[in-house]
């Protein structure tokens, strides 16, 4: 799926200009550009030239400059230099103000190769700059990018809380993108394709909004912002929707409960649609887990009680309750109580005893006793549970789970002579995802594991110097998605994390 066209860029406070001379990054990122790094892999330089970059952030340039002195391996540094600023360079597709309130900042963050804003991707794309975030009222600041994304996500969720990807705001003047895959979709509740790009209901999309809000608040303590626009309305909408999604398939008297959300698509792949007329597999009610029709890979769940998104939701709903305390005490109590219930439900219904690994978390459960034991590379995953601030990496159940998901017991673990890692049904068996290696390094304290992971990442970019979505475990030249900004940002976040936790490892050579 490729959506290419000329982009018009309006920066806050700048005059608009058409970047007719700038190459389309969807092509640019498939080609190599000098100067090449001076290590064995001779990685391409992949940043657009300065006048073609979409958002200029001095703090990011300083971080790159600082890392130049710290990361000794020239190929690893090149990968950082390309990957870390990728969201700023290529995906801040519009930044401006709401027409109904000229004080309300809006940031339209596209996913990369598709001109649409995913709630999950955009929250995580900005998270990669969290370590640089400080309170700042300027509309040219990183804080402004976060505020604009929170405001736009709030607008999206208030109107279509079940949807996962959205069109540019009307204020941008950017035309809606046509999503050919969605042409045959039959979805309840209905939506408008001028506003929504795709409407797969994923609990982690809702949790992503809470995560983004919590990230902003944690670094800025700017509670006042949350009281200014539609944030509290969006939170109330989310609570209404997710409380409704606690419902099971059958009512007490045996009647079939109407599913709050249904989705059907004409497609040859089973993971692109839902069984039982779009309602999904039967779920037992009363567990306290919130249903999710789709996963963060945008593939359908097998059982809708999807554990990683429930972890993420419980974690950030609880943190956002603290923000709400200063705004609406009743709503804050409702959030805090719900967050605790979901956390308890994850621990009561989300664990299994595995013959080889002992007590571990399941990927999905149905509440009747069946579970899916696997992990997918996309975050939220079981591997990433500590990154969701749900638990500590030292937790015993987590450690058992981690050993399982990084072993051949995980049905979506893929290995081969050139690359090994977790994949998923989105690209299918045989393809391992660099994102899973990055998540494993962010959750590891083991120097050997970290060095092996860095070596594997730096040697498998096919010379392009960017993080791809998936790689064939037998051939580095067979990969998917040349322009996947989230994965690039996550790589940058991971290397900055190692700079704090394991600086001695960045002295090594990864040749």
Q: Which lies closer to ligand NAG via its Cβ, residue 260 or residue 278?
A: 260
DSSP letter (8 states) at residue 223:
H
Q: Among 136-144, 179-187, 206-214, 444-452, which window interacts with ligand NAG (CB under 6 A)?
A: 136-144
Q: Among 38-46, 137-145, 209-217, 463-471, which window interacts with ligand NAG (CB under 6 A)?
A: 137-145
Assess 138 for contact with ligand NAG (CB under 6 A): yes
d(CA 156, CA 195): 8
Instruction: Write down the least CB distance from residue 394 to ligand NAG, Å.
Output: 8
Q: Which lies closer to ligand NAG via its Cβ, residue 144 or residue 460?
A: 144
Instruction: Write down the least CB distance from residue 358 to ligand NAG, Å.
Output: 20
Q: Which lies closer to ligand NAG via its Cβ, residue 27 or residue 62?
A: 62
Q: Which lies closer to ligand NAG via its Cβ, residue 142 or residue 438?
A: 142
d(CA 149, CA 136): 15
Rg of the chain over CA atoms, in angstroms? Answer: 22
Among 145, 302, 391, 442, binds ligand NAG (CB under 6 A): 391
Contacts of ligand NAG in 56-115 (CB under 6 A) = 58
Q: Can you read off the two tokens belonging to residue 255?
A: 């009647």
Q: Which residues pair with 262 in a beta bridge?
A: 188
d(CA 201, CA 458): 35
d(CA 434, CA 482): 13
Instruction: Write down the least CB distance from residue 87 to ligand NAG, Å.
Output: 16
d(CA 389, CA 316): 8
d(CA 289, CA 309): 10
Assess 233 for contact with ligand NAG (CB under 6 A): yes
Q: How far is CA 179 from CA 122, 182, 286, 417, in A?
A: 18, 6, 36, 37
283 by Cβ neighbours in 10 Å (0-12 / 13-18 / 19+) ranks as buried
Assess 330 for contact with ligand NAG (CB under 6 A): no
Assess 259 for contact with ligand NAG (CB under 6 A): no
Among 35, 253, 392, 504, binds ligand NAG (CB under 6 A): 392
d(CA 316, CA 218): 11
Instruction: Write down the least CB distance from residue 390 to ligand NAG, Å.
Output: 6
Cβ atoms 301, 333 nearer than 8 A: no
Q: Do the bridges between strand 196-198 and strand 305-306 make them parallel or antiparallel, or are there none, so unpaired?
A: unpaired
Among 110, 111, 211, 237, binds ligand NAG (CB under 6 A): 237
Assess 140 for contact with ligand NAG (CB under 6 A): yes
Instruction: Write down the least CB distance from residue 57 to ligand NAG, Å.
Output: 6
Q: Which lies closer to ligand NAG via its Cβ, residue 41 or residue 55?
A: 55
Among 32, 42, 141, 399, binds ligand NAG (CB under 6 A): 141
DSSP letter (8 states) at residue 172:
G
Q: Among 196-204, 207-215, 232-240, 247-255, which window interacts with ligand NAG (CB under 6 A)?
A: 232-240
Q: Which lies closer to ligand NAG via its Cβ, residue 233 or residue 507?
A: 233
Q: What phi, psi does 223 have (nearest 5°)?
A: -70, -30
Assess 236 for contact with ligand NAG (CB under 6 A): yes
Cβ atoms 147, 225 nearer than 8 A: yes
Which residues here bind ligand NAG, judged by CB under 6 A? 58, 134, 136, 138, 140-141, 233, 236-237, 240, 389-392
């Amino acid at each position: 799926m490729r959506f290419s066209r000329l982009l018009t860029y309006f920066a806050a406070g700048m005059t608009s200009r058409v970047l007719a001379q700038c190459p389309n990054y969807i092509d640019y990122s498939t080609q190599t550009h000098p100067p090449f790094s001076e290590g064995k892999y001779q990685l391409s330089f992949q940043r657009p030239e300065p006048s073609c970059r979409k958002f200029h952030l001095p703090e990011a340039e300083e971080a790159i400059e600082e890392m130049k002195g710290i990361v000794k391996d020239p190929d690893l540094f090149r990968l950082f230099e390309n990957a870390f600023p990728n969201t700023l360079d290529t995906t801040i597709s519009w930044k401006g103000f709401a027409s109904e309130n000229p004080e309300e900042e809006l940031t339209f963050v596209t996913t990369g190769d598709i001109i649409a804003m995913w709630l999950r991707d955009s929250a995580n794309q900005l998270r990669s700059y969290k370590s640089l975030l400080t309170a700042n009222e300027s509309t040219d600041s990183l804080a402004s990018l976060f505020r604009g994304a929170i405001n736009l996500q709030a607008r999206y969720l208030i109107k279509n809380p079940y949807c996962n990807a959205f069109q540019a705001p009307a204020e941008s003047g950017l035309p809606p993108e046509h999503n050919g895959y969605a042409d045959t979709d039959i979805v309840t509740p209905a939506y408008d394709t001028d506003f929504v790009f795709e409407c797969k209901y994923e609990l982690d999309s809702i949790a992503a909004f809470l995560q983004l809000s919590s990230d902003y608040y944690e670094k800025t303590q700017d509670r006042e912002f949350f009281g200014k626009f539609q944030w509290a309305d969006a939170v109330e909408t989310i609570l209404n929707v997710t409380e409704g999604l606690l419902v099971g398939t059958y009512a007490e008297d045996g009647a079939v409960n109407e599913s709050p959300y249904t989705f059907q698509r004409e497609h040859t792949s089973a993971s692109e649609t839902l069984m039982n007329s779009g309602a999904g597999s039967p779920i037992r009610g009363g567990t306290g887990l919130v249903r999710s029709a789709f996963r963060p890979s945008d593939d359908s769940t097998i059982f809708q009680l999807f554990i990683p998104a429930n972890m993420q939701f419980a974690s950030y709903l609880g943190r956002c309750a603290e923000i709400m305390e200063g705004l609406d005490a009743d709503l804050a109590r409702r959030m805090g109580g719900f967050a605790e219930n979901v956390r308890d439900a994850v621990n009561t219904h989300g664990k299994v005893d595995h013959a080889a690994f002992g007590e571990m978390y399941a990927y999905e459960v149905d509440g009747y006793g069946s579970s899916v034991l696997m992990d997918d590379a996309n975050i939220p995953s079981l591997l990433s549970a500590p990154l969701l601030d749900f638990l500590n990496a030292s937790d015993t159940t987590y450690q058992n789970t981690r050993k399982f998901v990084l072993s051949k017991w995980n049905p979506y673990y893929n290995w081969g002579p050139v690359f090994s890692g977790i994949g998923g049904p989105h690209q299918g068996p045989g393809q391992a995802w660099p994102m899973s290696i990055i998540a494993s390094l962010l959750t590891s304290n083991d120097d050997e594991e970290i060095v092996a992971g860095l070596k594997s990442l730096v040697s498998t970019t096919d010379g392009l110097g960017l993080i791809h979505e998936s790689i064939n475990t037998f051939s580095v030249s067979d990969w998917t998605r040349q322009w996947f900004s989230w994965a690039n940002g996550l790589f940058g976040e991971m290397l900055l994390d190692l700079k704090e936790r394991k600086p001695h490892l960045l002295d090594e050579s990864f040749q």
